[in-house]
Structure 1
């Protein structure tokens, strides 16, 4: 694993920083509070989530006239940058334990950090493929780090097409008997890891009576497997939290009232923690979680 420090022009010390994953209202609110508390703060984001797609907001305090989600998001980003927050448009593929804290992995680099705050919003939908939900916990998994051990020497598949799916496959390759990447009709990614097979056929169903037995395609012979790992789209807050051992309730990250998870140094805010899925709640959560992270870093 390659460890990369932040550029010196924004570096206090790499181990005295907080990384926020998610650039919506919860993440930006957290960044603003952390930066104002004197912390080196970096936000990794891919998009503005649900807020960016909202046409008109009429129920957020302080705006007499409606404002679009994109405009509100732009104001939040400008405010964060003015306070010295580093905004990085990049996909985070994993968060792992490392010396003195965590290692946040993007598609190109790995960043060491003492505190991580998850704020990527509500989890994405599970692919609507028959058999997936019925066989969850019985061969269908969402966490290679958590469950690879159970498939030692056995055939498994990873459903997905992007960097997150490839990262899950890399975790499985040294353990499983065979690993097949199912792209479900999408092209095969470039530079597949050694030993990873790929199948572009459209998936029709996940077969098995009381546990996963095979992947059924729209055409052709089925693929016998003992396990299927779902890695659709990009990794979200619940995925990262689950792999680090934080408590998860469904797809909601369990925190206390201050945004702390059960994992020291790991915090969460916004829609990924459940409750009222509103901007006002996300902004409040971000502030609470950021101040908890600041207290942790100063301890």
Structure 2
């Protein structure tokens, strides 16, 4: 039986692993089949403290993993399909049929950006296709950018990107926007924002391994055209990776794990959540890392007061 098991290896899960390993709690980390989280799709991270020249997203995650391993964290690859949270020690079921027990669990499975599902999109992620304006907007100074989406997130990202881009065009498949009135008004008043409404994205086009355009169809006329651009930001929302919980923990209407305000504690003692899986607002590497630290510290306090204190017999 493990003292603590961490699910997920993004900034939150790896930070939790570092803290718990340094506390001699020997955390076991379950990394999925795409370890590292969303940062592995980012070519250069320039807003994570300590790297003034920037750092490749995959390299940052690898360094954090090595740091956790250095202090004694152990890693196994697999996908958690179900948790048994009826009583402690809790059960963790993996897709290969294995079952493990742990006194405490930290859930840091993150959230996945919703994508359009069109040709060229995934292939050019990090090469001109992005899902995070705060992360990547800086790289588009003086460039032309397309933002795909019609909700509040799209309006917010478009407004933010006008700080850098020479021109931002919003592409939305309907004539009407889903965004709130105030967000629509802010976008419409911004002189740098253009509108391509009632257009359906069909294909991301790239040249020399960089995005060069987006092929779209005018829904009114059926005419297709290629819109030249230097970057495409997909802003149609995120999906928290919580399906495996099967209703065992409270989720909000979007599927994000609910935690006590200002804390990583869930409604079940010994079960903690950190990172994007419980954060629908910030979704930044640094905030995820900070919440991973919080989860580890609260987990350590929980274990100190747990009835399972005689680890040598387990």
* Distance of aligned partners of 1:280 and 1:124 in 2 relative to their CA distance in 1, 3 Å threshold: closer
What runs of 5+ residues in structure 1 fail to find an aligned partner?
A: 1-13, 129-234
CA deviation profile, 1:46-82 (whole Å, cap 9, x unmatched): 2222111110111111111111101101100110100
CA deviation profile, 1:186-235 (whole Å, cap 9, x unmatched): xxxxxxxxxxxxxxxxxxxxxxxxxxxxxxxxxxxxxxxxxxxxxxxxx9
1:148-297 equivalences under 5 Å are 237-256=241-260, 257-274=262-279, 275-297=281-303
Contact 2:31 2:75 in 1 (8 A): yes
Paired with 1:238 and 1:90, the residues of 2 have a C-alpha distance of 16
Match of residue 37 from structure 1: 23
Match of residue 107 from structure 1: 95
Which has the higher Rg, Structure 1 or Structure 2?
A: 2
Q: 4+ residue runs of structure 1 moved beyond 2 angstroms?
A: 97-101, 123-128, 235-243, 245-249
Match of residue 66 from structure 1: 54
Q: State TM-score, norm by structure 2.
A: 0.53
Q: State TM-score, norm by structure 1.
A: 0.56
SS of the aligned residue for 1:252 comes to coil
What runs of 5+ residues in structure 2 fail to find an aligned partner?
A: 118-238, 306-314
Contact 1:26 1:282 in 2 (8 A): yes
Displacement of 1:23 in angstroms is: 0.6
Displacement of 1:258 in angstroms is: 2.3
Provide the alpha-carbon RMSD of the alignment. 2.2
Contact 1:246 1:263 in 2 (8 A): no
Q: How many residues align?
A: 179
* 1:122 and 2:97 correspond: no
* Distance of aligned partners of 1:72 and 1:105 in 2 relative to their CA distance in 1, 3 Å threshold: same
